[in-house]
Chain A
Amino acid sequence: SQTIHQWPATLVQPVGSPLSLECTVEGTSNPNLYWYRQAAGRGLQLLFYSVGIGQISSEVPQNLSASRPQDRQFILSSKKLLLSDSGFYLCAWGGWLNTEAFFGQGTRLTVV
């Protein structure tokens, strides 16, 4: 069966520090991969999605970037964090059309 791993679970980082969040999927090949952010008490905002290695689509211009160095690995990065980058970051994977998205356990990022 398919599983998705996301780490770390919580992170407290100072303003201006770098960020790297990692997500890996097991049990499937060539998944669509997604990064979402959820601000406190709010809905989900799609940040990036990828349909294959090295293919990244950015939804919202911001202080973040994403990379997909391997088929089942998706990385969210920042060179310098801002206070506004705080939130709950969720990685998800999905198959082709008509399949749902399955979410990782999320990373709660607090920028101080």
Chain B
Amino acid sequence: ELKVEQNPLFLSMQEGKNYTIYCNYSTTSDRLYWYRQDPGKSLESLFVLLSNGAVKQEGRLMASLDTKARLSTLHITAAVHDLSATYFCAVGQGAQKLVFGQGTRLTINP
């Protein structure tokens, strides 16, 4: 059974700082996704990572995938308040399913 674990689950940081969210998964998979959720809202797709060593960047967010270590990271550079949200990673299982991590609630303080 595929298990996906994120850490930390809660993260409070100051604007301008850098930090990384980690996503570990238990069995081999060929695709990993990062989503953002604002309070009371649905999920917004951020990144799709499909191969070992894949790296994608959008603004202050950068995601990477190491399939050998079964690890993905979401790095936040020079955080700003607008990035406050809950971030989920999701790992593909079989052809159709996605298994989600627990989510990381990120709060960025001025």
Contacts and interface: CB of A to CB of B under 8 A. Distances in A.
B30 A46 contact: no
Interface in A87-112: 90, 94, 96-106, 108
A43 interface: yes
Contact of B100 (A32, A44, A49): A44
Nearest to B101: A43
A70 B92 CA distance: 25
Task: Report the contact-size class of chain A (Cβ under 8 Å from the partner).
Answer: 20 to 34
Interface string B26-58: 000011010100001111110010100000000
Contacts of A103: 35, 42-44
Contact of B95 (A46, A90, A96, A104): A96
Contacts, number: 53
Nearest to B6: A43
Interface of B: 30-31, 33, 35, 40-45, 48, 50, 88, 90, 92, 95-103
Main SS of the interface on chain B? strand
Contacts of B30: 97-98
B86 to A, nearest CB: 9
B42 A44 contact: no
A58 B100 CA distance: 17
Given A97-B95, A101-B98, A103-B43, 9 more contacts: A36-B100, A42-B103, A43-B103, A49-B96, A98-B31, A100-B33, A101-B33, A101-B90, A105-B41
Contacts of B96: 32, 49, 51, 94
